[in-house]
Structure 1
């Protein structure tokens, strides 16, 4: 029998793995970056995904299965030329001042698509809670200060209506509950983001995450 956690952390393990920024294409490749065409795709993805999102509509329709989660994304380190770097906060609507997940994401080229690498903040992340309102608070950090979550990157490809992507296999380790690995599947359009994040035990049984399908986030601004 599938066991599912009802905590925001369990339901939102990787909701925001793939996010972007509204910025102009650089027109040249940077360290760790890609060709201008690929960087343009990353910027398009970023333009769609930066901003404020929530799952309030879905939570109202199915309160037993989904929480109202708020997702905030801003660009940081804008002087870098190796692809967009993003700061992301996720918080339950009832505790917006105490986000349960804070991450940094780096959009880089991967063949004809875009890969989103995932990083944790050093020290106590809550010390930077609310930094999406003032990204200058992150100016004292740099990529070398972050902790990369190996195996948890999302690989994305363009479709006629948006972007789709996922983690790969069982590479993203998870210690949440009885899970040993996690997966994430995402679909992105200009006005929404859907993410289905699940944790599995050593037998391949789902132990956390939504059973009926992914979270649906609506872009509010």
Structure 2
């Protein structure tokens, strides 16, 4: 199956090493200085493009967290041409540090992943200039992204915008009892700049 050129562009925009240095310096009370890795993978290559994501506090780069898999798919709805499906790594401890050490990803197979049905985003695109796009990823109506970590159910609200050199993350942790956000992009997105292309 041939993949749409825009899907390849999206994967290229997402792939790389990012940080939010300028934002963290400007608003240190609200934004932790983070590094974010998006490593391309060869999983599900028959019909999609896949990325391993991991992040770390800049002062604790040796302790990264939030390992996840993003699968970029072509949708069937012309109004929503692309989707992002998230997966959890069943034993995330085996891949801690793979953002900085991508050799750890060589043994990863679909069997190591757990599909998170409610953790999906609809992607739309906007043409900014010839061959330059902004992609917006938002959850479909009436979906809840929930998964279990160490026996606890975790709920998150996902979303992002990406261009060729910027990645804005709207991800937030949600208190499932109150519905209120408890961590993440509480006052607006984390604004990352791409520092290295993968």
Output the CA distance in 1 between the equivalents of 2:171 and 2:67: 16
**What secondary structure, in the 3-state scheme, does the structure 2 residue paired with 1:130 have?**
coil
**Structure 1 residue 94: deviation in Å?**
1.0
Partner of 2:179: 204
Distance 1:59 1:211, change over 3 A: same
Partner of 1:118: 86
Asked whether the 8 Å contact 1:90–1:99 carries over to 2, the reply is yes
What value does the CA root-mean-square deviation take over the aligned residues? 2.5
Measured against aligned partners, the alpha-carbon deviations of 1:71-102 in whole angstroms (never above 9, x if no partner) come to 11111227932211211211110111211111
Distance 1:175 1:142, change over 3 A: closer
Partner of 1:214: 189
Task: Please identify, of 73-82 and 44-53, the stretch whose mean Cα deviation from structure 2 is larger.
Answer: 73-82
Distance 1:96 1:83, change over 3 A: same
Structure 2: gaps (5+ residues): 129-133
Q: 2:71 aligns with which of 92, 96, 106?
A: 106
Output the CA distance in 2 between the equivalents of 1:165 and 1:128: 26
**What secondary structure, in the 3-state scheme, does the structure 1 residue paired with 2:90 have?**
coil
Q: Does 1:192 align with 2:171?
A: no
Asked whether the 8 Å contact 1:98–1:126 carries over to 2, the reply is no
Structure 1: gaps (5+ residues): 1-28, 30-35
**Structure 1 residue 179: deviation in Å?**
8.7
**Structure 1 residue 131: deviation in Å?**
2.3
Output the CA distance in 2 between the equivalents of 1:189 and 1:129: 27
Count of residue pairs the alignment pairs up: 184
Partner of 2:131: none
Partner of 1:145: 112
Asked whether the 8 Å contact 1:99–1:126 carries over to 2, the reply is no
Measured against aligned partners, the alpha-carbon deviations of 1:18-50 in whole angstroms (never above 9, x if no partner) come to xxxxxxxxxxx1xxxxxx4x5322110011111
Larger strand share, 1 or 2: 2
Which has the bigger relative contact order, CA under 8 A and spacing at least 6? 1
User: TM-score with structure 2 length normalisation?
Assistant: 0.81
**Structure 1 residue 132: deviation in Å?**
3.4
